[in-house]
Structure 1
């Protein structure tokens, strides 16, 4: 049976299964956000960014530096906190292109958000020194990078604050982490979840698992719980939103309404209970499998074909020349791939910035622990078939190898 449990689809997020509880608690030499002693759990990575900004106690309207290559959920917390955004470019290695920040902007900036893209952490020594020289607080965005080392330091320990996402690495419906190796975290005032939300969160985890063929032998037992969850869901009159790049619509799509709530108990419990060894090993194996499939191909190339010894990837980033055609075809096949093509509308075009080309050409192929070797092969072979099919129109700029 495929990972879709007969649905034909592949899971886009980790799934709870009996195997989730197997394996070592952690792997020697692989650091984790968990290792940072001063931390608190949040409902999401974007909630963690928002709470990090509140910890800094910035004056209203203060300037925050954001990378040009971003998910809208990196910008929305800044705006919600009553702060202003300025953008910087990124280099081919994913680090900030500091030369794209003029002196006047740097002089006004009070904070800077820097991401470890794709789960492949980089040293932030240069960025840390640049921020210190200008008294700019550094927020280390580890949404893609729960594990590993960022050069000379463990991931999450370069920033004044670090933020991370649980749901990208664990089989939980929500969850984020705010951590700091440099500053004490003032306990945020978060509103507890209601009983209805708690029940729905547990039901969501279990229903996703059963839908994709996990937790064998439990379908009959859980049928009543799923029915309760679906009744709760139907009481909410939310209508699906069409994608839009207008700032109010993008803000709404970022779902910032729950950032001041405590995370669901299912996220707290599973984050504490589940071993890390399988998560780490399976993600590395899936990344390596993608690298083998895309070793030598026409019309595409891996941004980073090799993993560092302790890197634990979130996705496999693949540059594709004819990206629109390939991406939309893969999405139509319900394969686990996405791209960051919805950037905030006022993002400028900056010299020597790879951000705009990445937004267009870099496909992010998920490689989480609950995709099997066969699932990875299915996604890779579908991509290769599209790359070799007629109608390919290379888009140029295939440069950052």
Structure 2
């Protein structure tokens, strides 16, 4: 008898999920994460997305229009869009091989002008920001710690989110919610953001989106009738359903069309409810196990290799950064086959090439292989076999 995942792989009808999916198992296990999380910070406000959280952090900073904000050369455009939406000027800094800012390469005059620096924990490999914190204190620069990839864990000597004046996070990358971001701080009380509640129809649509995604991937067994009834209602009310809820649709949109139109809306009630009800410990265990399985099996020498092959005990990854020599050929084949993988190859316009930048080749060669908790062991085995076959043979990923 075939499992749902095996049938999916055979029929080639549905790609592996690119984000966490709600299932009955999502409620089973320890409610305590066993590791710190951004949600533990003393001051918190929920938003509709991580980019909305960045926008509100910049708004609270009260910077003058046009003030430079330092952002990484390797980025998703949704990191940069909030800076522009806030009326500020993104200025790019180079990265060290660890993914941290190459602080020595930042011009001294620019450092004095910059009002803030956005520092992400790329791929969920959280690291100490002690040097960045010291640099920010010395230059009077606001530090926004971008924890979109690092919702749980330790960043060196401190828990994630505790280095920044503000921390921002994306709930959809770690939890099976239709949307959600978090603005938090370890040291600065947060005022109410003045977010407007979404309409009842939008609230219902958010719940249906969660059920729709689960049904598409064979989850929430026993609720089939309810899910399909909800989908019929949704089609009558709003038109044909898409395969992805709004948060996922945004990530697949053209690189520079990052939607900032909903930054003043409050998150959906289903996102709030699920965040408090989900088991946390299994999320951490599954993500770590999936990452390490990928890293062990995909060290393919000069052709391809994990950028960071090991994890610290207090690291909870978002994706495995996978350096591929022939990424231009490999990436489209993996996507066509249904592998849960993406890349940041379309950068913000006028992103410079900086000689000191260790990440300058990452947009061309670096893939991000997802390792979230909705990917079961058989999914990971299929993913590894497909990636190896494509990289090593250069053949058809469907074979």
Deviation, 1:355, is 2.6
Q: Is 1:327 aligned with 2:331?
A: yes
Inter-partner Cα distance in structure 2 for 1:343 and 1:118 = 17
Inter-partner Cα distance in structure 2 for 1:261 and 1:8 = 32
Picking from 271, 274, 278, the partner of 1:274 is 278
* 1:21 corresponds to: 27
Inter-partner Cα distance in structure 2 for 1:173 and 1:221 = 18
Picking from 216, 219, 242, the partner of 1:214 is 219
Inter-partner Cα distance in structure 1 for 2:357 and 2:375 = 33
Q: Is 1:348 aligned with 2:325?
A: no
Inter-partner Cα distance in structure 2 for 1:153 and 1:201 = 35
- Aligned ranges 1:90-105 → 2 under 5 Å: 90-105=95-110
Picking from 184, 188, 193, the partner of 2:198 is 193
Q: Is 1:304 aligned with 2:308?
A: yes
Inter-partner Cα distance in structure 2 for 1:231 and 1:182 = 48
Inter-partner Cα distance in structure 2 for 1:387 and 1:207 = 34
* 1:164 corresponds to: 169
Picking from 359, 364, 385, the partner of 1:360 is 364
Q: Is 1:383 aligned with 2:387?
A: yes
Q: 1:188 to 1:27 in 2, by over 3 A?
A: closer
Q: Are the equivalent residues in 2 in contact too, given 1:64–1:112 (CA < 8 A)?
A: yes
In the comparison of the two structures, how many residue pairs are matched? 383
Inter-partner Cα distance in structure 2 for 1:65 and 1:15 = 34
* 2:18 corresponds to: 12
Q: Are the equivalent residues in 2 in contact too, given 1:69–1:355 (CA < 8 A)?
A: yes
Inter-partner Cα distance in structure 1 for 2:271 and 2:7 = 24
Q: Are the equivalent residues in 2 in contact too, given 1:100–1:351 (CA < 8 A)?
A: no
Deviation, 1:244, is 5.3
* 1:66 corresponds to: 71
Q: Is 1:32 aligned with 2:41?
A: no
Inter-partner Cα distance in structure 1 for 2:23 and 2:5 = 12
* 2:143 corresponds to: 138
**Please, which runs of 5 or more residues in structure 1 have no aligned partner?**
392-401
Q: Are the equivalent residues in 1 in contact too, given 2:197–2:265 (CA < 8 A)?
A: yes
Inter-partner Cα distance in structure 1 for 2:258 and 2:234 = 23
Picking from 103, 113, 117, the partner of 1:112 is 117
Q: Is 1:287 aligned with 2:291?
A: yes
Picking from 147, 155, 159, the partner of 2:152 is 147
Inter-partner Cα distance in structure 2 for 1:228 and 1:9 = 25
Q: Are the equivalent residues in 1 in contact too, given 2:330–2:394 (CA < 8 A)?
A: no
* 2:342 corresponds to: 338
Q: Are the equivalent residues in 2 in contact too, given 1:298–1:387 (CA < 8 A)?
A: no
Superposition RMSD in Å: 2.0
Inter-partner Cα distance in structure 2 for 1:307 and 1:298 = 22
Q: Are the equivalent residues in 1 in contact too, given 2:49–2:179 (CA < 8 A)?
A: yes
Deviation, 1:243, is 6.4
Q: 1:298 to 1:378 in 2, by over 3 A?
A: farther
Deviation, 1:295, is 3.4
Instruction: Between 39-48 and 223-232, report the one with greater CA deviation.
Output: 223-232
Inter-partner Cα distance in structure 2 for 1:244 and 1:192 = 28
Q: Normalising by the residue count of structure 2, what TM-score does the alignment of the two structures yield?
A: 0.92
Inter-partner Cα distance in structure 1 for 2:320 and 2:204 = 34
Q: Are the equivalent residues in 1 in contact too, given 2:6–2:378 (CA < 8 A)?
A: no
Inter-partner Cα distance in structure 2 for 1:8 and 1:76 = 31
Q: Are the equivalent residues in 2 in contact too, given 1:200–1:232 (CA < 8 A)?
A: no
Inter-partner Cα distance in structure 2 for 1:294 and 1:347 = 31
SS in 1 for 2:78: helix
* 1:84 corresponds to: 89
Inter-partner Cα distance in structure 2 for 1:199 and 1:312 = 32
